[in-house]
């Protein structure tokens, strides 16, 4: 009697075990497919935002390039006021693009942040080297001269931004 029960139970247990194993495997595969479809759908939604963030940050870096900055902003009455306007413009541009950091590599964001700070320091350093009687036009001219002779921080950051997008 025990032998008959054993002969019936063992195949049932084996069949049930195989069934549970196959069912578990099926559900795992379905979960993987669902997760893949969700990731694909999310990437379709995120990719345009990510590309737009890279475009906006490229535009930011171009706008804070010293030579572009002084050509875009007309000189103020005196060079100290002009220096302040230039630095404030860089800061405002940066704050306008703060949200873009969620779409790019954190290391690239640090480089963009550093480029912003370095550009502000560049303007301050040029202004410090000026005579107190200098005009805003003199500061503008001096920034243009020095910008031609040096690589701008935004140019270096642009290279990192381009690398990051690929």
Closest to 79 in 3D by CA, of 147, 130, 146: 130
Q: In tens digits, what is the pLDDT along the chain, a chain of 166 residues?
A: 778 777 788 888 888 888 888 999 989 999 998 988 888 787 777 888 888 999 999 999 999 999 999 999 988 778 899 999 999 999 999 999 999 999 899 999 999 999 999 999 999 999 998 888 889 999 999 999 998 888 888 988 999 898 887 7
The sign one gets for the Cα dihedral 89, 90, 93, 98 is: negative
Rounded to two decimals, the pTM is 0.74
What are the structural domain ranges in the chain?
A: 47-165
Q: Which two tokens stand for residue 131?
A: 């005579």
């Amino acid at each position: 009697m025990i032998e008959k029960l054993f002969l019936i139970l063992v195949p049932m247990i084996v069949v049930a075990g195989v069934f549970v194993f196959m069912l578990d495997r099926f559900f795992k595969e379905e979960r993987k497919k669902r997760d893949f479809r969700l990731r694909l759908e999310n990437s379709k939604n995120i990719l345009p935002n990510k590309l737009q963030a890279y475009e906006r940050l490229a535009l930011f870096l171009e706008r804070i390039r010293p030579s572009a900055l002084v050509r875009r902003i007309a000189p103020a009455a005196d060079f100290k006021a002009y220096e302040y306007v230039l630095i404030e413009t860089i800061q405002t541009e940066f704050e306008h693009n703060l949200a873009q950091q969620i779409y790019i590599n954190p290391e690239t964001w640090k480089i963009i942040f550093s480029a912003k700070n370095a550009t502000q320091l560049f303007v301050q350093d040029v202004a410090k080297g000026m005579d107190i009687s200098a005009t805003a036009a003199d500061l503008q001219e001096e920034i243009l001269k020095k910008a031609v002779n040096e690589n701008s921080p935004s140019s270096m950051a642009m290279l990192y931004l381009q690398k990051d997008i690929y």
